[in-house]
Amino acid sequence: MKINMPITQREQTLKDSISIVSKTDAKGMITYVNREFIEVSGFTEEELMGSNHNMVRHPDMPPAAYADLWDTVQSGKPWIGIVKNRCKNGDHYWVDVCITPMREGGEIVGYISVRKKATREQIEATAALYESMSIEQSFAASMLRKFHDYRHSISIQAKILSIFVMVALTSLMLGYSGVHGIVQSNNSIESIYKHQILPLEKLKIINDLYINNIAATGQKLQRGIITSAQATANVEQAIATLDKEWKAYGAAPHSEAEQKLTGEMQPLFDTALEAAVLLQKIIATDDLDRLMTFNTSDVYKAIDPFTQKLTELINLHYAGVADEYGATEAKYLQQRNVAIGLIVLALAICGVLGWNLNRSIMPRLREISRDLLTKAQEIDNDQPDLQSRYRDELTDVVEAYRSLKTRLDFDHSETMNRVNRLKSALDHASVAVTLSSEDNLLIYMNHAAETLFQSMASVIAQHHAGFKCREDDRYANRTVSGRCSGS
């Protein structure tokens, strides 16, 4: 990077209304400067024209600032910032700069730069920033600065999209949680049905067959309520069903406690089943005495131990139903709390994102509105343009406005420069020149016209009483030539 010397570290104070304007080609070579640029920089117009604009670069400016400047303007965007420039004698001055690319046929052909006086607050803040950029920072400080730069460079579109994504993710998580909860509830119900209800149904069938079939069949046969054939059919059906249901129950999956109790019940089941077979033989032999003994003693000795254990097993299944219900309810409460937590977390995150979005838009909009109204309503308004630490779409709009204003300022400066040169030529022309308004009021006369009217004043006064021609105070300052008047 070019280092311009010497430097004195003396600051040159600029006028509040100053507007330093220059134009360069695409390579940074100066093609136009206004009078203020020449006066402030101390260089002559001949020295500036055709030279690279970096001839006014101050060594205190960090290379990163100019790298950012060139990256920005070469991408077609305006660059706005505070710059410390060097005068020819080594002094320096601070300016609020807006550099805007110029295009022809879509290609960048040059750059327009309009600089105004920077405020003391802007100078102090920027000087501290440039100093921090010039010295080596600690890792933590560097990462913190990068984090702040990244946070302020997040676009408004990204902020809006983040809120949408957060709402979408919350909806998806809540939907997944709901579907997952339904699946778990269905699995729990299915598990209760398969592992508890169906086994209970089989155990009830076994219990009913012993009590309401085998024991009742012997009693009914003894009392003559049913015939031997009916009793035989009942017992045969009961034996077949008992064997089938018990084997089906044993083949089903069970808990450790259920398997243990089932193992203890197997000998009792075999004994109860033998009692049924015994009843079948008694019916076949039509032995009434033996049937009476069976009904009063044998059947209860065989069945009661089994039914007692059967009741324990049934109660164990009831406890299993209660346990599975409790586990299902616990899962429901857990999922409900997770869903509530997700909703609260999502609302909190969306609230923070919304607050950050509002903070990055609304205060700036109000500030921009006040600034534009102030500039539009104040006659003499030299307040500095808005500066923002954000780099988003709203900043692009403001910078586009400043870019347009820069172009208008440049066009105005160039026009005034031509006007001043034309006026200077007219002032020194040998031909008398006067300009009048649409109301036929004299608003300009050059030196030759002034001399002519003064020489003809006495003759004109003879025909126009009260006519006189005098030099106006402002003419002495060469802003208005002179004024002639008559009654």
Do 149 and 220 belong together in one domain?
no
Question: Full-prediction pTM beyond 0.75?
Answer: no
Q: Is the confidence at residue 419, as pLDDT, over 90?
A: no
- 368 in a domain, yes or no? no
Do 150 and 208 belong together in one domain?
no
Do 193 and 279 belong together in one domain?
yes
Residue 217 burial (C-beta neighbours within 10 Å; 0-12, 13-18, 19+):
buried
18: alpha, beta or left, given left = phi > 0 and alpha = psi -120 to 50?
beta
Residue 6: what pLDDT? Answer: 86
**Both structure tokens of 184:** 């778990």
Do 138 and 216 belong together in one domain?
no
- 232 in a domain, yes or no? yes
The number of folded domains in the chain is: 3
Q: What domain range includes position 147?
A: 19-154
Do 327 and 243 belong together in one domain?
yes
Buried b (16+ CB within 10 A) or exposed e, 180-189: ebeeeeeebe
- Angstrom distance (rounded) from CA 265 to CA 270: 9
Give the CATH number of the domain where residue 141 resides. 3.30.450.20
Residue 1: what pLDDT? Answer: 56
- What is the arithmetic mean of pLDDT over 381-401? 73
The Cβ of residue 439 has, within 10 Å, a number of other Cβ atoms equal to 6
Buried b (16+ CB within 10 A) or exposed e, 123-156: beebeeebeeeeeeeeeeeeeeeeeeeeeeebbb
**Helices and strands (H and E) in the chain: how many:** 15, 9
Do 219 and 292 belong together in one domain?
yes
Give the CATH number of the domain where residue 310 resides. 1.20.120.1730
For residue 400, which amino acid is it?
A: A
| Lowest-confidence region among 148-157, 460-469, 470-479 | 470-479
Find out whether the peptide bond into 6 is cis, omega within 30 degrees of 0.
Answer: yes
Confidence of residue 486 (pLDDT cuts 50, 70, 90): very low
Q: Is the confidence at residue 378, as pLDDT, over 80?
A: no
Q: Is the confidence at residue 466, as pLDDT, over 60?
A: yes
Confidence of residue 474 (pLDDT cuts 50, 70, 90): very low
- What is the arithmetic mean of pLDDT over 473-484? 38
- What is the arithmetic mean of pLDDT over 164-169? 88
Spell out the residues 6+ positions from residue 31 whose beta carbon is closer than 8 angstroms to its own: 23, 24, 25, 49, 50, 110
- The mean predicted confidence, pLDDT, of the chain is 84
Do 129 and 203 belong together in one domain?
no
Residue, of 450 and 140, whose pLDDT is higher: 450
The tens digit of pLDDT for each residue in 239-258 reads 899 889 888 888 888 888 88
Is the distance from CB of 216 to CB of 231 less than 8 angstroms?
no
- 326 in a domain, yes or no? yes
Residue 112: what pLDDT? Answer: 93
Q: What is the DSSP letter of 2?
A: -
Spell out the residues 6+ positions from residue 193 whose beta carbon is closer than 8 angstroms to its own: none
Confidence of residue 485 (pLDDT cuts 50, 70, 90): very low
Is the distance from CB of 96 to CB of 120 less than 8 angstroms?
no
Confidence of residue 286 (pLDDT cuts 50, 70, 90): confident
The tens digit of pLDDT for each residue in 220-241 reads 888 889 999 998 998 899 889 9
Do 143 and 219 belong together in one domain?
no
The last residue of one of the domains, among 154, 181, 203, is 154
- 5 in a domain, yes or no? no
- 422 in a domain, yes or no? no
Triad 144, 163, 358: Cα angle to 5°: 70
Residue 196: what pLDDT? Answer: 84
Q: Is the confidence at residue 87, as pLDDT, over 70?
A: yes
Most confidently predicted of 95-109, 245-259, 396-410: 95-109
Do 247 and 331 belong together in one domain?
yes
- 193 in a domain, yes or no? yes
Residue 370: what pLDDT? Answer: 84
The last residue of one of the domains, among 313, 330, 345, is 345
The last residue of one of the domains, among 329, 345, 361, is 345
105: alpha, beta or left, given left = phi > 0 and alpha = psi -120 to 50?
left
- What is the arithmetic mean of pLDDT over 37-52? 94
- 397 in a domain, yes or no? no
Residue 478: what pLDDT? Answer: 35
Phi, psi torsion values for 456, nearest 5 degrees: -100, 5
Most confidently predicted of 3-7, 52-56, 199-203, 342-346: 52-56
Do 209 and 134 belong together in one domain?
no
Do 128 and 216 belong together in one domain?
no
Q: What is the DSSP letter of 227?
A: -
Residue 40: what pLDDT? Answer: 95
Q: Is the confidence at residue 487, as pLDDT, over 90?
A: no
Do 44 and 104 belong together in one domain?
yes
Spell out the residues 6+ positions from residue 244 whose beta carbon is closer than 8 angstroms to its own: none
| Lowest-confidence region among 9-18, 267-276, 365-374 | 365-374
Q: Is the confidence at residue 446, as pLDDT, over 70?
A: yes
- 367 in a domain, yes or no? no
Most confidently predicted of 11-25, 151-165, 194-208, 465-479: 11-25
Residue from 122, 110, 81 nearest 391 by CA: 81
